[in-house]
Amino acid sequence: MTDQCKFFVPGPTWVRPAILQELSRPMIGHRSAEFKELFHGINADLKTLFATKQDTFIVTSSGTGVMQAALENCVARRVLVTTCGAFSERWLTIAESLGLECDRFDAGWGNAVNPDALADHLASRRGNYDAVTLTHNETSTGVTNDIAILASAVREESPDSLVLVDAVSALAGIPMAFDQWNLDVCLASVQKGIALPPGITVVAASAAAMERARKHPYRGTYFDFLEYKKQAESDSVPATPSIPHFYALAKQLTHIIREETLPARFERHRLLRDMTIERTAKYTRLASDPAHASMTVTALEPVASDAETIRYAMKERGFTIGAGYGQWKERTFRIGHMGDIPLKSLEQMLDVLDKVAGG
Ligand code: PLP
């Protein structure tokens, strides 16, 4: 196995060989003292990663499951869903499937959600929403929303609404400040910025979110936030978790927080983004608003060639890049530059892309 990455899909992302090895460690019981010790270390590190002193926990599910859980625990009646691409629209699909009353506040594909316009919308419907959903990083378009300002608009104009944030393709790649930004639920599956194989999701939840959950008698069993909180208080989980992921997460959080460190990790992601955009500018257009260009994924529209042709040509040369997504499937290809991808690996891939797409 090599530490060189040739895989640039915007999730699941490339996983370091040292992390893959953690997945093959012998089993321990999830009610054992060893597991409690493992959990304890992970949960302390999660508080650093989310920048919170409030509740954090780990759910054995992909991110979509916990998006549904956030709505099931926190919304009784009506939710405002902010949308700007396929994954922010997923909140809407889930909310509708749960029979919730939904309003949509749409910024349009490729744009970030505008905080002033959101504030105006909320001001005209004061007190009407149990929660507002935000998407930190829209993976289909490569746009990062300014969660600090959006959350403060919600607080200002609709103080009783909870703020539910999907940080799936942001956490550990783009700064997060859960307490300072006054968020209520923030979730991220681990196959993106945290750079683990897919299978579990990390969550932070505020006291207000827990209070809201307490008022809902029918939260279901598997995704009951109160049960996760109760179990986490004794370093445990409600049901049998994916134990191999816990080993890998413990090792990876040590790497992220104490070896690479968060400031250095964010700076590397900034460099990965800047290098991607600069080096492809001759033969592509950035598909989304450059002022909100994501540090973890870039969606590019080829000027002269076809996105799928480029992708296949890269595949033939041993490099995997991401396809366009949803309504941008034909028009764009995406470069995932998140997680543990070394700058050198991106540089090597861009050298090849230059030849394939740059002519
Ligand atoms: N939200 C965003 C921003 C995503 O990028 C994805 C997956 O790509 C999801 C949600 C869904 O997460 P999962 O595939 O872990 O269910």
- What is the structure's pLDDT at 188? 98
What 3-state class would DSSP assign to 59?
strand
Q: In this structure, how many other beta carbons lie within 10 angstroms of the beta carbon of residue 259? A: 10
95 vs 15: CA distance, rounded Å: 32
Distance 63 CA to ligand 1 centre (A): 6
Is it the case that residue 259 has pLDDT exceeding 80? yes
Mean pLDDT of the 15-39 span? 97
Residue 230 pLDDT grade (very low, low, confident, very high; cuts 50, 70, 90): very high
What is the percent of the chain with per-residue pLDDT over 90, rounded to a whole number?
A: 96
357 vs 359: CA distance, rounded Å: 6
Angle, nearest 10°, between helix axes 33-50 and 243-254? 50
- What is the structure's pLDDT at 41? 98
Which mutation among 71, 81, 137, 189 tests ligand 1's pocket best, with the greatest number of atoms within 8 A of CB? 189
Residue of minimum CA distance from atom 13 in ligand 1: 63
248 vs 263: CA distance, rounded Å: 22
Mean pLDDT of the 236-252 span? 98
With contact defined as beta carbons under 8 Å apart, do 337 and 192 qualify?
no
- What is the structure's pLDDT at 1? 58
Is it the case that residue 312 has pLDDT exceeding 70? yes
- What is the structure's pLDDT at 127? 66
201-222 pLDDT per residue, tens: 999 999 999 999 999 889 999 9
105-138 pLDDT per residue, tens: 999 999 999 999 999 999 998 668 999 999 999 9
Half-sphere exposure of 348 (CA within 13 A, CB side): 14
Residue 359 pLDDT grade (very low, low, confident, very high; cuts 50, 70, 90): confident
User: Is the sign of the CA dihedral 86, 87, 92, 95 positive or negative?
Assistant: positive
Distance 32 CA to ligand 1 centre (A): 32
- What is the structure's pLDDT at 125? 81
How distant, in Å, are the alpha carbons of 29, 315, 317, 354 from that of 284? 51, 18, 20, 11
With contact defined as beta carbons under 8 Å apart, do 329 and 312 qualify?
no
Mean pLDDT of the 266-271 span? 98
Question: Which residues on neighbouring strands pair with residue 189, listed in sequence order?
Answer: 201
- What is the structure's pLDDT at 166? 98
Predicted TM-score of the model (pTM): 0.98
Question: Which residues surround ligand 1 with Cβ inside 6 Å?
Answer: 11, 62-64, 87, 90, 135, 137, 139, 166, 168-169, 189
Which mutation among 83, 89, 166, 200 tests ligand 1's pocket best, with the greatest number of atoms within 8 A of CB? 166
Is it the case that residue 2 has pLDDT exceeding 90? no
Distance 64 CA to ligand 1 centre (A): 6
Distance 62 CA to ligand 1 centre (A): 8
- What is the structure's pLDDT at 115? 98
